[in-house]
Structure 1
Amino acid sequence: MLTQKLTPAQVELYHQQGYIIIKGFCKPDEVNKLYNTALEDNAMLNNAFDLDDLTGKKTKLSLWFTPGNDIFGYLIRSEKMIGSVKQLLGGEAPICHYHSKLMQKEPKVGGAWEWHQDYGYWYKNQFMFPDELISVMVALTESNKQNGCLQVIKGSHKLGRLNHGFAGEQMGADIQMVNNALKTMELVYAELEAGDALILHSNLLHRSEANLSDHPRWSIISCYNLQSNPAYNETSASYKVPVDIVPDNAIMDWDADSLSNADFLKKENDPALKKTGWESA
């Protein structure tokens, strides 16, 4: 049995507003180890690709599917991570890891993310049930207004899936509905200290500004799916494989493999970035 990681009040708040912030989710020594590995592991850097925003600024990310025996795999599979996700998703089905991505927003050049829902992307992968998908972002550096922290529209997950079209190389939500949501609901700047976690419902509207500061903004975002939620246009099988949970101390105490063993996504293979015809309808 997984230990209950969240209070009933936190679970209720997630369902009410579509997100929660957990302060100090990772300890400083864990953050340092994760961040230094991200900087030094050539596999992570060699498998990064850019996505242009509407202005042509680039956001760099590395995305992989199967959580391994590397330092990030230990975080992704940790009891604190899976225990928190299980409480929020509920249900009887096991938790599966869909994918994780290292977001690398460099000073002065890191691009914006347009307003979108994660399910706006995953709808193209033909996942059936958005309530059974969730994202956990762990800040590896400070994330604030100056370096383009995430902005969320509180409660917008209750709108259901909005239409999405291309915004640069990204998927952007119907801007009229976004503007309506901004008139109706509260805009929140989700500022984080390194080690804090931001957990998002798959239909929560969110965006981030370009990083025009002198400081990097790096984070790891891990996305999870209940095994009961099928996807009919997804080539990786990770979304339906139950996570092999490890103790929290694995992050610091266990020997870790290189990320070179990870099954990284190639940009040209991502269904969400391929035009289907309905985006411009």
Structure 2
Amino acid sequence: MKLTTEQLAQFDRDGYLFFPGLFTPEETQSLNDAVPELYSRDEDYNIREKGKTAVRTNFATHMYSEPFAKLARHPRMIEPVEELLGEALYMHQFKINGKMAFEGDVWQWHQDYGTWLNDDMMPTERAMNVAIFMDEVTEHNGPLMFIPGSHKKGVVNAKHDLTTTSYPLWTVDNDLIRQLVQRAGGKEGGIVSPKGPAGSMILFHSCLVHASGSNLSPFNRVSVYLSLCAISNHIRRHKRPEYIAHRDFTPITCLPDDCLTKDYPVDLPWKDGVPASALKTSLEEINPERKAA
């Protein structure tokens, strides 16, 4: 999937692109069907909402679930990022965020690269997220909120929030959020929330400041996120378990465009369980000269 000249200019200006209904209901069916069983697993890679049983994030799904292993190699999700970054990519992180009905908690204002820099020692912001809606996203079920153009600010100061939710995050100060929103247009477009049917896709810059409110509605808002990083920009530290920050820098090879509706072989290295090595962490910097596998 190639981006147009207008889309490239829009991404440079706003820091994100939105593709409503890019994947069909047929394409997303096998993904949706797999989620309940994945969320039911009592595994470390299922992070639950603080004080609740609802899953907040299911990590590394592409390592043990066939439908999501195919999605992780889908050209509609991989090729636009390859075009924007200008080189081959590896999977830094893969997750299914479950903003579940009545129980989905907030995601504070943050930049994804802030976490990747502080926790994983990712050298630069040459990485970004691609998200696909598994449910319809409306104004009622906790949609993402972006501050358009905030990626132009580069990496901003952040604090490590270890208490607000069940997942630690490097969050942005409220005063800076006010400034960024005002610069982006204040009440007239300073915050945007892409909404649309299941199968819609968002691509956004790793420095784009974003957040989402809690989901008090009776409607789930589940989304899949591929965090894709340029091979040359691989992380330099293994502070977090591998199911959160991957350590295999092998370039992603795309499957055919119809891979979600047809059978294609995919590797599932963790189908029999997460290896003990994936849980080991270290604060030491790894060799920056290490080459992709």
Distance 1:65 1:41, change over 3 A: closer
Q: Which runs of 5+ in 2 are unaligned?
A: 185-189, 284-293
Greater mean deviation of Cα atoms: 4-13 or 252-261: 252-261
Q: Write out per-residue CA displacement over residues 45-93 of structure 1, whole angstroms, 9 at most, x where no aligned residue.
A: 74311354xx999761011186567111111111222111112222xx3
SS of 1:123's equivalent?
helix
Letter of the 2:263 partner, please give it.
W
Over aligned residues, Cα RMSD in angstroms? 3.1
Instruction: Indicate whether 1:260 and 2:271 are aligned.
Output: yes
Structure with greater proportional helix content: 1
The code of the aligned residue for 1:19 comes to Y
Q: Name the aligned partner's letter for residue 184 of structure 1.
A: R
Which TM-score applies when normalising by structure 2?
0.80
1:216 pairs with 2:210: no
Q: Which residue of 2 aligns with 1:279?
A: none
Instruction: Give the aligned partner of residue 11 of structure 2.
Output: 14
Q: Pick from 239, 243, 254: which aligns with 1:245?
A: 254
- Distance, in Å, in 1 between the alignment partners of 2:281 and 2:58 is 12
Q: Which has the higher strand share?
A: 1
Distance 2:282 2:134 in 1: 28
Q: 2: CA distance between counterparts of 1:210 and 1:103?
A: 13
Inter-CA distance 183–66: structure 2 relative to 1 (3 Å threshold): same
- Partner of 2:107 in structure 1? 113
Who is 1:31 aligned against? 28
Among residues 115, 126, 129, which one is paired with 2:124 in the alignment? Answer: 129
State whether residues 65 and 264 of structure 1, in contact with CA within 8 Å, keep that contact through their aligned partners in structure 2: no
| 1:82 corresponds to which of 78, 83, 107 | 78
TM-aligned CA deviation for residue 256 of structure 1: 6.9
Confirm or deny: 8 A CA contact 2:21 2:196 kept in the other structure: no
Task: Answer yes or no: is 1:102 the counterpart of 2:99.
Answer: no
Aligned length: 264
Judge which range, 195-204 or 169-178, deviates more: 169-178
SS class of match (1:250): coil
Does residue 154 in structure 1 map to residue 148 in structure 2? yes
Whole-angstrom distance in 2 between the partners of 1:72 and 1:161: 31
Letter in 2 for 1:70: E
The structural deviation recorded for 1:270 is: 8.2
Which amino acid in 2 is paired with 1:260? K
Q: Which moved more, 1:154-163 or 1:74-83?
A: 74-83
Residue 189 of structure 1 aligns to a residue whose secondary structure is coil
Instruction: Using structure 1 for the length normalisation, give the TM-score.
Output: 0.83
Amino acid at match of 1:243: I
Calculate percent identity across the aligned residue pairs: 24
Q: Describe the shift of the 1:150–1:270 C-alpha distance in structure 2 as closer, same or farther (beyond 3 A).
A: farther
Matches within 5 A, 1:55-74: 60-64=56-60, 67=63, 70-74=66-70
2:208 corresponds to which residue? 204
- Structure 1 spans left out of the alignment, 5+ residues: 273-281
Could you tell me which of 38, 46, 57 is aligned with 1:48?
Answer: 46
